[in-house]
Chain A
């Protein structure tokens, strides 16, 4: 029957030699045999046990739970697996929450106009479209009256300093 040295078995399942030594120490997987020079000799049966360990690890089970699963005969497996299933559901719920939060943060960030358009550009375009300075003042007044917060946000998006924003909003707020 095929047997394995520790390094050989570790390589076969993609683990390190020290991981197998650790599994031995905690009583999760011990070599069934020893060579005359006292090297660990793993059997085909050990290998099958290790493959189950790897499968449970891939499902995120802690090593202590895996040991319980493998060592207790009968079907206590369902309870351990259900516990892990509940955990993954909780983790998915928490990640969904983070996902929603990130999406809404990005939406908020996306609402702001970067000062790609500054005040002078706006004024010159409005002038070119035939808007008089008096009309622009009236426009600010209406904007301030209807949506003061958006008026502020709009002026800030043009890159105006707070002091100038305050000045514009003050004259806009006068009756």
Chain B
């Protein structure tokens, strides 16, 4: 059984398939715009704390 996926693991996965920082920011922005609740619950699932989640979502809205 694998260890729990951390946010770093997830990011690394996307980086390996060719998503760069800009693409990930775009992806978060899309997620936030289209499915704000889903974005929130996805970040919770990754284990981010409330402050970090707010930071990511604020940046995605910006």
User: Is B13 within 8 A of A139, CB to CB?
Assistant: yes
In-complex Cβ contact of A116 among B2, B4, B14, B41 (8 A): B41
User: Is B26 within 8 A of A113, CB to CB?
Assistant: no
Q: State how many angstroms separate the Cβ of A119 from the closest Cβ of chain B.
A: 12
User: Is B38 within 8 A of A121, CB to CB?
Assistant: yes
B51 within 8 Å of A by Cβ? no
Instruction: For B38, list chain A residues within 8 Å (CB).
Output: 113, 116-117, 121
User: Is B13 within 8 A of A113, CB to CB?
Assistant: no
Q: How many residue pairs bridge A and B at CB < 8 Å? A: 81
User: Is A149 within 8 A of B24, CB to CB?
Assistant: no
Q: State how many angstroms separate the Cβ of A102 from the closest Cβ of chain B.
A: 19
Main secondary structure of the interface of B (DSSP, over half): helix
B54 within 8 Å of A by Cβ? no
Interface size on B, residues (CB 8 A): 27
B7 within 8 Å of A by Cβ? no
Q: State how many angstroms separate the Cβ of A52 from the closest Cβ of chain B.
A: 51
Instruction: For B47, list chain A residues within 8 Å (CB).
Output: 111
Instruction: For A149, list chain B residues within 8 Å (CB).
Output: 1-2
B23 within 8 Å of A by Cβ? yes
Q: State how many angstroms separate the Cβ of B27 from the closest Cβ of chain A.
A: 4
A-B contact pairs, 7 of them (CB 8 A): A111-B44, A113-B38, A116-B38, A135-B17, A142-B16, A143-B5, A154-B45
Binding site for B on A (CB under 8 A): 110-114, 116-117, 121, 125-126, 128-132, 135-136, 138-139, 142-143, 146-150, 154, 157
